[in-house]
Structure 1
Amino acid sequence: MLYGVSYYPEYQPFDRLETDVAMMKDAGINYARLADSIWTLSEPAEGELDVSWLGPVLDALHEAGIKVILCTPSYAIPAWFAQRYPEAMNRRLDGTPLPYGDRQNVDFTDPTYRRLLERLIRTMLEQHAQHPSVVGVQVDNETGGRPIATPRAFEEFVRRLERKFGDIDAVNDTWGLNYWSHRLSAWDQLWQPLGNTNPGYDLEWRRYQAELVAEFLGWQAGIVREYLRPDQLITHDVVGGHGLPHADRKKIGDVVDVAAENVPHHTQDALAHPPVGGHANYHDPDGVHGAYQIYFRCDMARASGHRNFLVTEMNPISVGGAGHTYTAYDGQWRLAAYTCISRGANAVAYWHWHSNHFGTETYSHGVLNHDLQPNRCYDEVTRIGHELQQVGDRLTDLTPHADVAFLYSPDSRYGLAAQPALSEAGSARPDRRSYERIFNAFYRNYLDERAQATVTHDPAELADYPVAVAPAYYIADDAALDTLVDYARDGGHLVLTFRSGYADEFARARWERAPGRLREAVGAGYNLYSNLERPVPVRAADGAGLDLPDGAAATAWMDELVLEGATPLAYYEHHTWHRYPAVVTHEFGAGRVTYVGTLPDATLGREIARWVLDTSGIERAGAGLPEQVWVTRATATDGAELTFVTNFSHEEIDIPAPATGQDLHTGAQIGAGTPLTLGPWDVRIVDAGN
Structure 2
Amino acid sequence: MAKSIQMDELTLGVCYYPEHWPEELWEDDFHRMQEMNISVIRMAEFAWAMLEPEEGVFDFSFFTRVMDLAHQYGLKVILGTPTATPPAWLTHKYPEVLNAHQNGELIKHGMRRHYNYSSPKYRELCEIIVRNMVSAYKDHPAVIGWQIDNEFNCEKNVFYAEADHAAFRVWLRQKYETLDNLNKAWGTVFWSQTYTAWEQLHLSQTESPNPHLALDEKRFISDNVISFAKLQADIIRELAPQHWVTTNGLFGHLDSHELTDELLDFFSYDSYPQFSTIFPGNDENSLKDRGWSMSLSKVRSISPNFCVMEQQSGPGGWVDRIEMGSPRPGQIRLWSYQSVLHGTDLLVYFRWRTATMGTEIYWHGINDYHNRPNRRVREVAQVGGEFAKIGALIAGTKYQAEVAIMQDYDNLWDGEMDKWHGPLQWQSKGSWYKQLQYRHIPADLLTLRSNTTLEDLSKYKVIVYPHAAIMTDETAELLTRYVEQGGKLFFGARTGYKNPTGQCYMRPFPGPVAELCGITVEDFTLIKGTIQPAELNWEGRVPSGTKAVAFNEVLNVQNSEAEVVAHYASEYYKGEPALTRRTVGKGEVWYYGAAYSEPVVDAILDELSIATPIADWLEVPAAVELGIRSSEDASYAFLLNYSDQPAALQVKRATKELLTGATIENEVEMPAYGVIILEL
Name 2:292's counterpart in structure 1: 294
Query: What residue in structure 2 maps to residue 251 of structure 1?
Result: 258
- Displacement after TM superposition at 1:580 (Å): 2.4
The answer to whether the 8 Å contact 1:495/1:594 transfers is yes
Q: Report the AA paired with residue 213 of structure 1.
A: V
Per the alignment, residue 274 of structure 1 pairs with: none
Identity, in percent, stands at 25
Q: Which amino acid aligns with 2:657?
A: D
Tell me if structure 2 keeps the 8 A contact 1:52–1:127: no
Change (3 A) 1:435 1:549: closer
Which residue of 83, 90, 97 corresponds with 1:88? 97
Query: In structure 1, how many angstroms separate the alpha carbons of the residues matched to 2:510 and 2:407?
Result: 18
Residues of 1 paired with 2:253 and 2:187: CA distance? 25
Q: Match for residue 192 of structure 2?
A: 181
The residue identity in structure 1 corresponding to 2:415 is: L
1:556 lines up with 2:550 in the alignment: yes
Q: In the TM superposition, what whole-angstrom CA distance separates every residue of 1:86-131 from its partner, at most 9, and x where no partner exists?
A: 1221222221111111111112232222222222222222222222
- The residue that corresponds to 2:662 in the other structure is 668
In structure 2, C-alpha distance between the alignment counterparts of 1:79 and 1:141, rounded to whole Å: 18
How do residues 435-514 of structure 1 correspond to structure 2 at under 5 angstroms? 435-458=425-448, 459-460=452-453, 461-514=456-509
1:583 is matched with which residue: 564, 575, 579?
579
Candidates 644, 647, 651, aligned match of 1:653: 647
2:307 is equivalent to residue 310 of structure 1: yes
Question: Partner of 1:621 in structure 2?
Answer: 614
In the alignment, is residue 262 of structure 1 matched against residue 274 of structure 2? no
- What one-letter code is carried by the residue in structure 1 that aligns with 2:328? Y
Q: Which amino acid aligns with 1:621?
A: I
Once superposed, which parts of structure 1, at least 4 consecutive aligned residues long, lie more than 6 Å away? 282-288
1: distance between equivalents of 2:158 and 2:53? Answer: 28
- Measured after TM superposition, the shift of residue 72 of structure 1 is 0.5
**Which structure 2 residues correspond to residues 115-134 of structure 1 after superposition, within 5 A?**
115-134=124-143
Query: Would you say 1:605 and 2:613 are equivalent positions?
Result: no
* Counterpart contact for 1:413–1:436, Cα < 8 Å: no
CA distance in structure 2 between the aligned counterparts of 1:286 and 1:205, rounded to whole angstroms = 37
> In the alignment, what sits opposite 2:563?
567
8 Å contact from structure 2 (residues 203, 217) kept in 1:
no
Q: Which residue of 1 aligns with 2:219?
A: 207
Task: Tell me what 1:417 maps to.
Answer: 416
Distance in 2 between the 1:200 and 1:493 partners?
A: 32
Alignment of 1:161-180 (within 5 A): 161-180=172-191
Task: Name the counterpart of 1:149.
Answer: 160
Of the three residues 612, 635, 639, the one matched with 1:641 is 635
On the 8 A contact 2:76/2:144 being kept in 1, the answer is yes
Give 1:283 deviation, angstroms. Answer: 12
2:590 to 590, 594, 597: 594
1:647 and 1:406 map into 2 onto residues whose CA distance is 23
Partner of 1:233: 244
Q: Which residue identity lines up with residue 210 of structure 1 in the other structure?
A: S
Cα pair distance change 1:171/1:2, threshold 3 Å? same
AA in 2 matched with 1:680: A
Alpha-carbon displacement from aligned partner over 1:253-288 (angstroms, at most 9, x marks no partner): 222111101111128xx7xxxxxxxx5229999997
Task: Kindly state the Cα deviation for residue 142 of structure 1 after the two structures are TM-superposed.
Answer: 0.7
Counterpart for residue 685 of structure 1:
677
Aligned-partner residue type, residue 417 of structure 1: E
TM-superposed deviation, 1:159? 2.4
* Contact 1:5 1:31 survives alignment (8 Å): yes
| 8 A contact 1:235–1:258 mirrored in 2 | yes
User: 1:229 deviation in Å?
Assistant: 4.0
| Inter-CA distance 48–282: structure 2 relative to 1 (3 Å threshold) | farther
Quote the residue 1:58 is aligned against. 67
Q: Is the 8 A contact 2:11 2:347 kept in 1?
A: yes
Aligned counterpart, 1:350: 349
Specify the SS of the correspondent of 1:639.
Answer: coil
What is aligned with 1:136? Answer: 145
The separation in 2 between residues aligned to 1:606 and 1:284, in whole angstroms, is 20
C-alpha distance 191-235 of structure 1, shift in aligned 2 (>3 A): closer
SS at match of 1:368: coil
How far does residue 406 in structure 1 lie from its aligned partner after superposition? 2.1
Cα separation, 2, equivalents of 1:283 and 1:140: 33
Change (3 A) 1:286 1:13: farther
* One-letter amino acid matched to 1:216: F
* Aligned mates of 1:435, 1:227 — CA distance in 2: 44
Unpaired runs of at least 5, structure 1:
271-278, 423-431
Long gaps (5+) in structure 2: 1-9
Residues in 1 aligned to 2:579 and 2:348: alpha-carbon distance in whole angstroms: 43
Give the C-alpha shift of residue 500 in structure 1.
1.9
* 1:16-55, Cα deviation, whole Å (9 max, x unpaired): 1112112212222111111100100111111110011111
CA distance in 1, matches of 2:246, 2:50: 23
Q: SS at 2:348's partner residue?
A: strand
1:223 maps to 235
Cα 1:529–1:433 change in 2 (3 A) is closer
- Which residue identity does 2:127 align to in structure 1? E
Q: Relative to structure 1, is the Cα distance of residues 218 and 337 closer, same or farther in structure 2, using a 3 angstrom cutoff?
A: same
For 2:235, the aligned partner's letter is I
Q: Which has the higher contact order (CA 8 A, sep 6+)?
A: 2
Report the residue type matching 1:280 in the other structure: I
How many equivalent pairs are there? 654
Q: Normalising to structure 1: TM-score of the pair?
A: 0.90
Does the aligned pair in 2 maintain the 1:72–1:138 contact within 8 Å?
yes
Deviation string for 1:569-605 (max 9, x for gaps)? 2222214232223222111122100112112332223
Structure 1 residue 504 displacement after superposition: 0.8
For residues 389 and 66 of structure 2, the distance between their equivalents in structure 1, rounded to whole angstroms, comes to 27
| Number of the residue aligned with 1:428 | none
- 1:677 deviation in Å? 2.6
Question: What RMSD, in angstroms, separates the aligned Cα atoms of the two structures?
Answer: 2.4
1:200·1:507 contact (CA, 8 Å) conserved in 2? yes
Contact 2:657–2:663, Cα closer than 8 Å, also in 1: yes
Distance 1:288 1:57, change over 3 A: farther
In the superposition, the TM-score normalised over structure 2's length comes to 0.91
